[in-house]
């Protein structure tokens, strides 16, 4: 069941502790599922956007996340 997420996805463990929050547009597949759980188990805590950036350097949705301006969401511009 691979594909791009059409809405944000919260992954939780069996105790309902947040593992990570994946943004809309993130490409999700079984391999990435395993990578996320492996990193979570090693870290022992919720994965941050910095963790996801390091894990998925080619994934634009985590490298350049949407920015909340208070009015609309705009993609961050690269300098």
pTM (whole model) above 0.85: no
Residue 70 phi, psi (nearest 5): 95, -20
* pLDDT of 5 over the 70 cut: yes
Is there a domain that residue 8 lies in?
A: yes
pLDDT at residue 67, rounded to an integer: 59
Is there a domain that residue 20 lies in?
A: yes
d(CA 51, CA 38): 12
Is there a domain that residue 71 lies in?
A: no
Is there a domain that residue 74 lies in?
A: no
Q: Which residue did the predictor score with more confidence, 68 or 11? A: 11
Instruction: Provide the domain limits for residue 34.
Output: 3-62
* pLDDT of 72 over the 50 cut: no
């Amino acid at each position: 069941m691979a594909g791009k997420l059409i809405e944000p996805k919260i992954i939780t463990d069996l105790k309902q502790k947040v593992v990570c929050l994946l943004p809309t547009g993130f490409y999700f597949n079984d391999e990435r599922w395993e990578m996320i759980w492996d990193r979570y188990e090693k870290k022992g805590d919720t994965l941050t956007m910095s963790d996801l950036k390091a894990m998925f350097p080619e994934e634009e949705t985590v490298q350049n996340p949407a920015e909340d301006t208070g009015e609309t969401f705009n993609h961050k511009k690269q300098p």
